[in-house]
Amino acid sequence: MVRAPYFDKNGVKKGAWSREEDDKLREHVEKYGLWNWREIPKFAGLSRCGKSCRLRWMNYLRPDVKHGNYNEEEEDLILKLHEKHGNKWSLIAAKLPGRTDNEVKNYWHAHLKKRSVKKQNTLVLKEKCSGHTSESEGSQMKKEMEARTVVSYTPSNPILESTPLSPETSCSELSNMSTDFAPKLPVSAGSNWNNIAENILPSVPTFGEFIGDFWTEPFLTDNAYTQDDFPGVSFYQEELFVSYYDDGMDFYNEMMKELPGNN
DNA sequence: AAATGGGTCAACCGCGCGGCT
DNA sequence: AAGCCGCGCGGTTGACCCATT
Distance from C-alpha of A212 to C-alpha of A44, rounded to nearest angstrom: 62
- Domain definitions of chain A by residue range: 6-61, 66-121, 131-258
pLDDT value at residue A258 = 46
Q: What is the CATH number of domain A6-61?
A: 1.10.10.60
Nucleotide nearest to A4 (CA to C1'): C15
CATH 1.10.10.10 holds for A66-121: no
pLDDT value at residue A255 = 44
pLDDT value at residue A249 = 39
Strand B contact at CB of residue A149, distance < 7 A: no
Round to a whole number and report the distance in Å from the CA of A101 to the C1' of B18.
Answer: 20
pLDDT value at residue A172 = 33
Round to a whole number and report the distance in Å from the CA of A35 to the C1' of C3.
Answer: 24
Amino acid at A253: N
> C-alpha distances in angstroms, A141 versus A21, A146, A210, A262?
62, 9, 11, 12
pLDDT value at residue A105 = 87
Instruction: Give residues lining strand C (CB < 7 Å).
Output: A 1-4, 35-38, 50-51, 54, 87-91, 101-102, 105-106, 109, 191
Question: Which nucleotides in chain C have some atom under 7 angstroms from a protein Cβ?
Answer: 5-12, 14-17
pLDDT value at residue A144 = 46
pLDDT value at residue A117 = 64
pLDDT value at residue A127 = 64
pLDDT value at residue A126 = 64
Q: Which own/partner contact pairs does A112-117 have at CB distance under 8 Å and 24+ positions apart?
A: A112/A75, A112/A78, A112/A79, A112/A82, A114/A246, A115/A79, A116/A79, A116/A82, A116/A83, A116/A193, A117/A193, A117/A239, A117/A242, A117/A243
Question: Tens digit of pLDDT per residue, chain A (263 long)?
Answer: 677 888 888 888 999 999 899 999 988 888 888 888 888 888 889 999 988 998 899 888 888 888 888 888 888 888 888 888 888 888 888 888 888 888 888 888 888 877 766 666 666 666 666 654 455 555 554 444 444 433 333 333 333 333 333 333 333 333 333 333 233 333 333 333 333 333 333 333 333 333 333 333 333 333 333 333 333 333 333 333 333 333 433 444 444 444 444 44
